[in-house]
Each structure stands twice: as C-alpha cells, then as structure tokens.
Copies of this chain bind each other. A is one copy, B any other.
C-alpha cells in the first residue's frame, strides 16, 4: 500500500494515521511521504533523516514554509483511525496528521502557487529537542528553512494562532536541618520554609501585554513539589518546581530576571528555558495569509516550533485542523469539516483564488 495523494483529505488523514509513527519510529511514514512526493515534477524533494522537504522553485518574490511533524505521542488504546460521523478519531488525527494531509494535498495539486512554497514534513517533534527534525535541519541545512513567512499546521481549531509564549522552568529550594521528629526543635523544617514560596505564587498577578494587537496572558505556577526524608525525620530540603510562561515581548534573560526577583531570598536554579516568538503579523505575506483564512487571529499560549522559525528570523503562525485540547488525549479526534476548511483556505491563499 502506498499513499494516494489524489484521495480526499479525510481519507489521506486516515491513511497517515494508520501508519503508526510514534516518535523515533518515523521510517515508514517518511518513506511513504517521500515516495508519494518524488514523482511530482513541480517539486524538488530531498530527505534528511526522516524529514522530507519538497520545494517549488518558480522564482516568486516571496517564499513560504508550510510545515508539519510526522510523529505522534505513544499509542494510548486509540489506534488505528475510525471515522465516526463527522469526526475522524485516533492517535494523530488532531496532532497532527490532519495538518500533514492538508500539506500533502496542496503539495500534490497546487502546481503554480503565487508564492514559492517549501513543504516540510519532519520527524520527532514530540520528544527531546535533540531529535527534532526542524532543529536538525536548522543545523545541517538552514538554507532550506529560509522563507518570508511560515505556517506550522499544529492544531489550532482552524484559526490562526500567532507567535508563542516562552517557557522557563526553575527549581526553588529551601534548606533546613534534619532531626528526629520526636525532638523537632533540634532541627529546622525545610518544608515549612517553603510556605512563603507557595504564598507568593498564590498571589501572583499575571502580566497581560498586548503585542501586535494580541493579548498574551502570562503564567507562573508550581508544577511540582518534593521534600521529606522519612515520617520520623524533620526534612532538611524542599524543592518547588516552578514553570513560567512569558509573553514574547520578553527575552529568556528578562524572564529569568523576573523570576529571580519574584523569589528573592530563595535559591533559584534554572532547569530549562525556551524563548517565545513574536506574532510577526506586520509582514505582507502574513497579513495576506490572515486575510485569506478569515481574519481572526488569536495569541498562541503553548510553546510550539513556531519559536524555532522566529529564532531563524522567519515570522510564523500556527494554523491547523483540530482542537488543541485533544492533542495527546486518548480521545484525540479532528472534525472532518476543519480538514476540508483548512485545505480550502490554504489552497485559495496559495492560488490567489477566491475563498
């Protein structure tokens, strides 16, 4: 069996879902995508690991990227796909083989787009960044990512979500002194000392900056807490893991400075940080795209690979079929209507035709 790019977008989504491709197992789906695209004479196809790049080279004034990842989170009793009335259900229907199917349909059928297009179907988005196909390509062949604008077809309920917030994880630690619980006054309870950390967090008021007309709401939350030695020992250490989501008007360094000041007096260790991405809606290709898909734009709160494009100097938005609330969910599904809608609107944009 091989992929049939002449099938409708719903059948093509189901076919992609039914090739199991949990992260690090993308060989077969990448093979199928490569074999389906290779014969198309209007595309220049190249393969990099399990990432496939297909480009038009029409000498257009602008180039756009349309990208989707081929991998999924692990199977959760939700594979293969089933069509259930107006919903296609199963692992990857929403995140994001519906988007991949739209990409493949456009790649196969829009032979003369108004912008040059780089279609990108990449591996390992759901796991550590070191395996991420987009990251690997940015290291090995950054020229292939050059563009004026990028669309990442992550599920966004078929609405444009622009930019993304940055994320910073820190460990805030208190220390004390152990003692037998029967003589607790000889020790110093590190868990009790974590109380004011939680009190500060409970009183946190989120900043809500407006950037390019979009309101971003930040967040500062304990996502984990650990402390304790044994039920008869006064604990000498307590660690609160805190995650900060920061709007794209702040750099990682500014976000870190904010968090350190917020927890002044405590030991703060940075565990992980990823920058946000500005919406970038002021570039002409982005404006035209937003208009073509209906004009409504929401801010993106979750971190996605649009930040990678942003870091490369390419404005990027999320736009894809499926409710993101059902990504990584056992009951993952995508509305058939959104698959059709996304294909129709992107086709109109790339062909300059009517909507």
Contacts and interface: CB of A to CB of B under 8 A. Distances in A.
A85 interface: no
Interface in A178-213: 180-185, 189, 191-199, 201-202, 206
A186 B303 CA distance: 17
B223 A231 contact: yes
A189 B241 CA distance: 13
A226 interface: yes
A191 B245 contact: no
A309 to B, nearest CB: 18
Q: Is the contact region of chain A dominated by helix, strand, or loop, or is it mixed? A: mixed
A217 interface: yes
B233 A223 contact: yes
Contacts of A217: 185
B222 A191 contact: yes
A189 B204 CA distance: 12
A354 interface: no
Contact of A234 (B167, B169, B223, B225): B223
A240 B194 CA distance: 12
A289 interface: no
B206 A198 contact: no
Interface string A45-68: 000000000000000000000000
Nearest to A199: B195
Contacts of A245: 181-182, 184
A201 B182 contact: no
Given A192-B221, A192-B222, A225-B191, A199 B199 contact: yes
A90 interface: no
A242 to B, nearest CB: 9
Interface of A: 165, 167, 169, 180-185, 189, 191-199, 201-202, 206, 217, 219, 221-235, 238, 240-241, 243, 245, 271-272, 301-303
Q: Ordered nearest first, which 6 A-B pairs have the shortest CB separation?
A: A224-B228, A195-B198, A191-B222, A182-B302, A184-B219, A182-B301
